[in-house]
């Protein structure tokens, strides 16, 4: 089982390049960052963690661009995987985003993991022109169109939300036919069906309280659909718990991701070092 960290990047605290290089030197396998372009002040969308309009962390309003942050991390690392937990593709032009991700995968030597989400904040999505009730279909089309650009010499796509005629687009990602795609979402039947059809694995939510049973359920759906192998399972963890980690590994969790505290750079570097000392890399 791989071990990674996720940093809620913002304009304060530790920089993503420092966090990623520290994690790599301490033996971690992966480094993840989230995404929000903005947070509308007036909204009806409830935060899944608080259950109301309250934000649990003011870094939602201060989040760095994930691809700039990961590009910075790529420049100072050589082996650690660079991912999003999660990115919001529907807040981008898919042709431009495909170029950004292909460029990062090319320049990093094939180290990108593409964690995606539908987006809980309907008002944020609406400001980007995304109909909230169509976000699942739109995300599927975005990813299909991006993969066409990543794999085809003359790519084209025709959908309700994305359409372009025969086009050239390089660089292609090192990872073919695409960087691995993981959906970060709750363990609902609808979300698991989407993963089986359109992704390579699942990122749990911080509120997932039944990882073991839900991993088994996703494995069964995967096999029933005729998908080869097993899905990647990226489990978000709070504190280090040896027994829990062993149980997750035995169940089929392929990667555990630890969150970093919102503290000073020195404190976070020390935290990464202490966490690494507890893990069997």
Q: What is the rounded radius of gyration, in angstroms, for the C-alpha atoms of the chain?
A: 18
Separation CA 222–CA 57 (nearest Å):
35
Tens digits of per-residue pLDDT, 168-201? 999 999 999 999 999 999 999 999 999 999 999 9
Backbone angles phi, psi at 230, to 5 degrees: -135, 155
Asked if the model's pLDDT at residue 211 lies above 90, the reply is yes
pTM exceeds 0.85 for this model: yes
How many distinct structural domains can be found in the chain?
1
Separation CA 82–CA 98 (nearest Å):
16
Residue 259 structural domain: 2-277
- pLDDT confidence tier of residue 213, bands split at 50, 70 and 90: very high
Residue 185 Ramachandran class (φ > 0 left, ψ -120 to 50 alpha, else beta)? beta
Residue 231: give its domain's CATH number. 3.20.20.30
Spatial CA neighbour of 113 closest among 145, 72, 80, 155: 80
């Amino acid at each position: 089982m791989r071990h990674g960290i996720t940093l809620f990047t913002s304009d304060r605290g530790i920089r993503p390049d420092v966090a990623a290089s520290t994690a790599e030197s301490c033996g971690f396998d992966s480094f993840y960052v989230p995404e929000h372009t903005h947070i509308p002040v007036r909204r009806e969308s409830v935060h899944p963690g608080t259950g109301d309009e309250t934000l649990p962390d003011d870094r939602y309003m201060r989040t760095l661009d994930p691809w700039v942050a990961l590009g910075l991390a790529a420049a100072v690392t050589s082996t650690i995987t660079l991912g999003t937990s999660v990115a919001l593709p529907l807040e981008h032009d898919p042709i431009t985003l495909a170029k950004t991700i292909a460029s990062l995968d090319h320049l990093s030597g094939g180290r990108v993991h593409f964690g995606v989400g539908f987006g809980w904040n309907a008002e944020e999505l609406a400001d980007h022109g995304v109909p909230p009730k169509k976000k699942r279909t739109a995300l599927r089309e975005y990813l299909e169109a991006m993969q066409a650009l990543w794999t085809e010499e003359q790519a084209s796509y025709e959908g309700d939300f994305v359409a372009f005629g025969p086009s050239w687009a390089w660089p292609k990602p090192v990872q073919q036919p695409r960087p691995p795609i993981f959906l970060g979402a709750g363990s609902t039947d609808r979300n698991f069906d989407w993963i089986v059809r359109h992704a390579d694995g699942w990122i749990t939510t911080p509120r997932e309280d039944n990882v073991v049973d839900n991993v088994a359920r996703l494995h069964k759906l995967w096999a029933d659909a005729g998908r080869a192998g097993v899905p990647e399972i990226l489990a978000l963890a709070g504190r280090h718990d040896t027994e829990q980690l062993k149980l997750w590994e035995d169940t089929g969790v392929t990667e555990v991701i630890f969150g970093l505290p919102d503290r000073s750079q020195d404190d976070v570097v020390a935290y990464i070092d202490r966490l690494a000392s507890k893990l069997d890399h």
